[in-house]
Each structure stands twice: as structure tokens, then as C-alpha cells.
């Protein structure tokens, strides 16, 4: 067997080892260069952020270029470099929004920048958990609280202008800035509902429900001597200081009720809105398990069944609510509405219960008047179908007397309803028709004049 010369193999090993050394040196150089590049970019970002004068348009352009160049290199950066980079990135975005009017030209883009800035600052806090806390204290004690306060103020202004989706976005950012303050997430959810952004509203409410948030607590308030307005304070101590200084009077502590039931109810109602009735029923059942005697929850669950066109379920739950709260006229009125399509006598019984509780319940008065007219169409149709024979004329007189009897039974309810709500066109049209049929011409003319 022919053997290979040993000298050849040894030379090849030298060559391979030499190549490995060259690759290692090259890789080391690349890492070193990358590290230098990262440091240069971070220095560049720091220089722009810490300028004595407000950054220019050119500064922000350079800032963005440094961010774009530096971000891909963060995977190989040290934790300290990463913390610096994301700190300056977040601070730069916030600074641009505060100093560059053009940055707010597109509100949703501006909100996205704010959101990203908060994410960057939270990323810095996470990075510095296990090392040197170069930026954490400043972020927690200054940057995020100031940003949260500013964002909250703007969100409240937008809500006042009925820009609900935009307000919701900002409240969500305020919550990211301080996840211990669940009230900001509650505000975000409420604004999302108002803006019909049900997907985000559901997401926020589910997070609140999972966290156990109730919203219970105390609010410390006092009246401003100058404005006469009642104002809130972050705590009792700051309120007391303002009162002692003579600027405020009438200090009070107001208790905030639990929002737990409302949150669960809204989760269920959003599921209904999305057509997910099974999830809605499950959510409401869970809410009722925790609050079995809360009549408002029973009614809310009943409304879910109503929207799902489950009238038997609706009737059962409203009856349960009425049994727990027998002085609530609206509950008995609702039972009457459900019964009116199939059992007139039962509907009348429930409407009368409602009116016993509240004699001026306009809807129940109109319902009683309308109920009295249940057989009107049948009678009128038969009258219109009669001929001119003596027998037909005799039958016509009987039917007319029956019809007039219906009107006379309905009139007291409808006239009272009209007195309580004189502009309601439905009641006016019913009264006009009946007055005309009863040949009460002056009353008819008076109603006719009110018709629009």
C-alpha cells in the first residue's frame, strides 16, 4: 500500500491552522469595529439629546440616521450599550414631539412615536435590572411620570372633543408608562367603547378583569376659593396643605364605588356586539356569581338574552330582577313589553304594576293606551268589509260601539302621557286619530296643529 508523505500532511495542517487564526483575527476586528461604531452612534445620539439649544430639523434627521444604523448592531452590543442606545432613542422621540410642531401634524403617527418611546424606556429598565442602573432612576422618577401626566391631559382634552379613539390610544400609552395605575387602562377601555373600537376595548377590559382591578378607593377634594370649583388632589396630605394655606375650603373624602361589575358587564356586551353570544353569557354568568344580588347585573344579562332574541331567557331574568327590586317600575314595564306579543292580559297586569309604582311613568302610560287598541285593526277591517244591508248596518253600529269603547279606554292613559310629554309625536298621532273618530273636532284640531 502506498503511503502519503508525512511532510505534505503537516504542511496542510499548518495552512488550515493559519487560516483559522486569520478568520479569528478578522472576526475579532469586525467585532471591535462594530463596538466602536456602536459607541460612535451612541455618542452621536447623546450629543443631539444633550445640546444646550433645541435640536434643529437637521439634528432630528441625523438622529434618525444614527438610530437606523445602530439598531441592527444592538444584538452584539453590551447591556450597557443597549441601555444607552434605547434611552437616547426614546428620549429623542419624546424631544421631537415636544419641540418640533411638524411631528404632531399626523396625530396617529405622533401617538405611535410616544408609544415606542415608552417601550424603549421600559426596555432600558428591563436591561438595567441585572447591571448598572445608569438611567433607571431618571426614567422611573422623571421621564415616565412627566410623560404620563402630559399624555393624560391631552387624552382628557381629546375626550372632551369626542375624539374617543385618539383619547383611548393616549390613555393606553399613559398606562404603559405606569402599569400600576390601572385607572388609565380603564379610561382607555371606556374611550375605545365610545369610539366603537370594540376589539381594543375588549382587550383592555379583559386585562383589567384578569388583574383584579376594582377602581375602589378614595378621592380627596376641596373647593378652590378663587374659582369656586371642587378640585381633586393626589392624596390627603397635599389636599390638607392646600386647605391650611387658605387657598381651598370644604375638604372632603369621596369614596369611589367598585367598577368590577361594570367591567364584566362591558366584556359581555362587547361580545354581544361582536356576535359572540355564548362568550357574552359566560362572562355575565361569572359576574353574577361574584355579585348574585346585583340587580343591574341581572338586567344586563337579561339584555344579552334580549339582543340574542332569546325572549324566554330575557323574561326569566327580568322577573328575577323584579323580585329582588319590587319598587323598580321599569322592570315591570319590561315584563309587560315581553308579554304584549303573546298575552295581552299579562302585559296589562305588568304595566299596571309599573304605574302603581310610578303613576307618571310615560312609557307605561303609552303602552297601556296602545294595549287598549289591540283589537282596533280587527274591528276596523270587519267594518270596512260590510255591505249596505240592514243586517250589515246593524253589525256596523255594534262594531263602532266596540271601537269607540277601545278609544275611551285608551284615552285617559294617552292624554296623561301627552300632558307629561307634550311633544311626543307618537302620542299626538294616536290622540288625533281617536278624537277624529269620536267626532271631538276641537280636540282633533288641537292635536292636528301639533303634528309635525
Which pLDDT tens digits describe the chain residue by residue (452 residues)? 334 444 444 444 444 445 444 334 333 333 333 333 456 778 878 888 777 777 788 888 888 888 898 888 888 888 999 999 999 898 888 888 777 666 666 777 888 888 999 999 999 999 999 878 889 999 999 999 988 988 888 899 899 999 999 999 999 999 999 999 999 999 999 999 999 999 999 999 999 999 999 998 888 999 998 888 888 887 889 889 989 999 999 999 988 888 887 898 889 889 988 888 889 888 888 878 777 878 888 888 888 888 778 889 899 999 999 999 999 999 999 999 989 988 999 999 999 999 999 999 999 999 999 999 999 999 999 999 999 999 999 999 999 999 999 999 999 999 999 999 999 999 999 999 999 999 999 999 999 999 98
Q: Which of 230, 234, 227, 228 is nearest to 251 (CA)?
A: 230
How far apart (Å, rounded) are the C-alpha atoms in residues 281 and 51?
58
pLDDT value at residue 39: 67
Q: Residue 103: its pLDDT value, please?
A: 60
pLDDT score of 102: 66
What integer pLDDT is reported at residue 63 of this predicted model? 84
pLDDT at 38: 54
pLDDT of residue 101: 63
Paired residues of 249 in beta bridges: 223
Residue 210: what pLDDT? 93
Amino acid at each position: 500500500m502506498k503511503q502519503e508523505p508525512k511532510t505534505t500532511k503537516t504542511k496542510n495542517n499548518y495552512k488550515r491552522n493559519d487560516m483559522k487564526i486569520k478568520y479569528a483575527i478578522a472576526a475579532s476586528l469586525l467585532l471591535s469595529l462594530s463596538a466602536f461604531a456602536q459607541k460612535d452612534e451612541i455618542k452621536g445620539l447623546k450629543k443631539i439629546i444633550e445640546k444646550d439649544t433645541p435640536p434643529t430639523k437637521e439634528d432630528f434627521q441625523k438622529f434618525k440616521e444614527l438610530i437606523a444604523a445602530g439598531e441592527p448592531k444592538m444584538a452584539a452590543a453590551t447591556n450597557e450599550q443597549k441601555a444607552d442606545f434605547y434611552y437616547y432613542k426614546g428620549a429623542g422621540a419624546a424631544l421631537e414631539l415636544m419641540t418640533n410642531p411638524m411631528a404632531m401634524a399626523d396625530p396617529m403617527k405622533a401617538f405611535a412615536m410616544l408609544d415606542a418611546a415608552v417601550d424603549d424606556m421600559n426596555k432600558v429598565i428591563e436591561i438595567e435590572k441585572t447591571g448598572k442602573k445608569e438611567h433607571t432612576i431618571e426614567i422611573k422618577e422623571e421621564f415616565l411620570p412627566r410623560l404620563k401626566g402630559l399624555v393624560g391631559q391631552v387624552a382628557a382634552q381629546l375626550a372632551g372633543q369626542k375624539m374617543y379613539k385618539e383619547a383611548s390610544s393616549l390613555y393606553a400609552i399613559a398606562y404603559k408608562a405606569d402599569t400600576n395605575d390601572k385607572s388609565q387602562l380603564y379610561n382607555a377601555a371606556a374611550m375605545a367603547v365610545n369610539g366603537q373600537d370594540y376589539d381594543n376595548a375588549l382587550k383592555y377590559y379583559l386585562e383589567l378583569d384578569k388583574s383584579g382591578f376594582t377602581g375602589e378607593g378614595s378621592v380627596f377634594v376641596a373647593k378652590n376659593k378663587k374659582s369656586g370649583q371642587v378640585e381633586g388632589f393626589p392624596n390627603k396630605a397635599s389636599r390638607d396643605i392646600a386647605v391650611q394655606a387658605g387657598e381651598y375650603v370644604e375638604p372632603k373624602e369621596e369614596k369611589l364605588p367598585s367598577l368590577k361589575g361594570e367591567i364584566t358587564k362591558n366584556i359581555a356586551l362587547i361580545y354581544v356586539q361582536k356576535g359572540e353570544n355564548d362568550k357574552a353569557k359566560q362572562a355575565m354568568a361569572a359576574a353574577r356569581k361574584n355579585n348574585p344580588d346585583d340587580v343591574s347585573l341581572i338586567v344586563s344579562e337579561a339584555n344579552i338574552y334580549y339582543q340574542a332574541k332569546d325572549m324566554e331567557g330575557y323574561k326569566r331574568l327580568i322577573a328575577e330582577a323584579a323580585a329582588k327590586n319590587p319598587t323598580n317600575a321599569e322592570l315591570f314595564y319590561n315584563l309587560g313589553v315581553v308579554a304584549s306579543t303573546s298575552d295581552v292580559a299579562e302585559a296589562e297586569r305588568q304595566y299596571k304594576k309599573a304605574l302603581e309604582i310610578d303613576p307618571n311613568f310615560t312609557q307605561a302610560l303609552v303602552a297601556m293606551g296602545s294595549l287598549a287598541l289591540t283589537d282596533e285593526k280587527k274591528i276596523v277591517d270587519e267594518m270596512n268589509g260590510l255591505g249596505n244591508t240592514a243586517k250589515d248596518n246593524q253589525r256596523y253600529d255594534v262594531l263602532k260601539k266596540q271601537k269607540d269603547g277601545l278609544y275611551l279606554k285608551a284615552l285617559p292613559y294617552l292624554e296623561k302621557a301627552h300632558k307629561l310629554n307634550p311633544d311626543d309625536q307618537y302620542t299626538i298621532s294616536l290622540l288625533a286619530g281617536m278624537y277624529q273618530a269620536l267626532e271631538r273636532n276641537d280636540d282633533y284640531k288641537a292635536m292636528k296643529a301639533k303634528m309635525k
